[in-house]
């Protein structure tokens, strides 16, 4: 269980009774994915998190609200465990929110998730997974630790990994796993989002790219009106290209994704100096 700690790192085992059941109203586009990015400015460098405020409006909405309040400015990453996760936030200084679990949003490498002390007890503390920690998912019995995922790192993941490797007090320290030198979030800010489908040239803007189904299981059907063949890449949440060198012809195309793990991906179609992207979910 990723326990909620106080700012000094003292573990809190008391369940929070007050639960916020109302979802936060977030301005979003018509895409089936979130439209908000948050940039972390830290003493170890900067990174950007893409928030799933459409799929997880309560959890992501709570985080966005705190960011807009400048709540995280000057807050530490107070718990760091290499090859596991980095954790930030404060203790029980805000009302708890209702857990929000979405099939397909899993605690995989690069995702941001809520820390808590049990069901419906998350407040301000979060952690970022340094590796796949799917045992922390809500549907992984007999685990009693259920941590809602609400976004993933899209830029600067090496900075997150650097934070994960700082010297700490270790598991037996007091407080445990606290960096010996403070790693500070100087500020966290919401940034202007990219559109759900993006292009990098005027010529590419004339190209339409449609993907079905989305979420997908083992195969993707990709349709384009482009007159020239595009080369397809699939990119995971850490920025790794997991599928490439498939040509996309005008009309319908089938892409085998049966060997890929569940999660969020970006499908990118490239031609010369032009490209167009779509975000997809693989869910089984």
Return the active site residues.
Answer: 79, 84, 87, 116, 127, 136, 147
- Enumerate the H helices of the chain as residue ranges: 57-68, 157-164
Q: Would you call 66 exposed, middle or buried from its count of C-beta atoms within 10 A (0-12, 13-18, 19+)?
A: buried
Cα–Cα distance, 273 to 5 (Å, whole number): 48
Cα–Cα distance, 12 to 221 (Å, whole number): 48
* Residues in contact with 256: Cβ distance below 8 Å, sequence separation at least 6, in sequence order: 218, 219
Cis peptide before 175 (omega within 30 of 0): yes
φ and ψ at residue 260, rounded to 5 degrees: -95, 150
97: left (phi over 0), alpha (psi -120 to 50) or beta: beta
Question: Per DSSP, what are the bridge partners of residue 271?
Answer: 274
Q: Would you call 60 exposed, middle or buried from its count of C-beta atoms within 10 A (0-12, 13-18, 19+)?
A: buried
Q: Would you call 26 exposed, middle or buried from its count of C-beta atoms within 10 A (0-12, 13-18, 19+)?
A: middle
What secondary structure letter does DSSP report for 206? G
Q: Side by side, which strands form the sheet with 209-212?
A: 209-212, 219-224, 251-256
Cα–Cα distance, 266 to 31 (Å, whole number): 14
């Amino acid at each position: 269980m990723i326990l909620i700690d106080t700012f000094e790192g003292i573990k809190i085992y008391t369940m929070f009774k007050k639960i916020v059941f109302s979802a936060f109203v977030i301005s979003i586009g018509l895409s089936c994915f979130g439209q908000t990015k948050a940039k972390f400015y830290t003493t170890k460098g900067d990174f950007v998190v893409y928030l799933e405020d459409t799929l997880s409006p309560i959890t992501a909405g709570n985080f966005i609200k705190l960011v807009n309040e400048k709540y995280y400015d000057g807050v530490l990453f107070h718990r760091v465990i290499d090859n596991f996760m980095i954790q930030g936030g404060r203790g029980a200084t805000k009302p708890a929110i209702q857990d929000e679990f979405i099939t397909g949003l899993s605690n995989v490498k690069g995702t941001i998730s809520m820390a808590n002390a049990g069901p419906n007890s998350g407040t301000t503390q979060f952690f970022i997974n340094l590796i796949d920690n799917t045992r922390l998912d809500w549907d992984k019995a007999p685990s009693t630790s259920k941590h809602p995922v609400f976004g993933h790192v899209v830029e600067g993941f090496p900075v997150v990994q650097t934070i994960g490797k700082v010297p700490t007090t270790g598991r037996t320290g007091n407080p445990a796993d606290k960096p010996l030198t403070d790693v500070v979030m100087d500020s966290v800010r919401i940034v202007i989002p990219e559109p759900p489908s993006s292009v990098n040239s005027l010529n590419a803007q004339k190209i339409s790219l449609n993907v079905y189904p989305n979420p997908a299981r083992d195969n993707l059907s990709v349709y384009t009106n482009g007159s020239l063949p595009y080369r397809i890449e699939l990119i995971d949440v850490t920025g790794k290209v997991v599928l490439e060198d498939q040509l996309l012809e005008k009309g319908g195309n089938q892409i085998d994704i049966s060997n890929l793990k569940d999660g969020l991906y970006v499908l990118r179609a490239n031609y010369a100096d032009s490209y167009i992207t779509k975000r997809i979910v693989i869910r089984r």
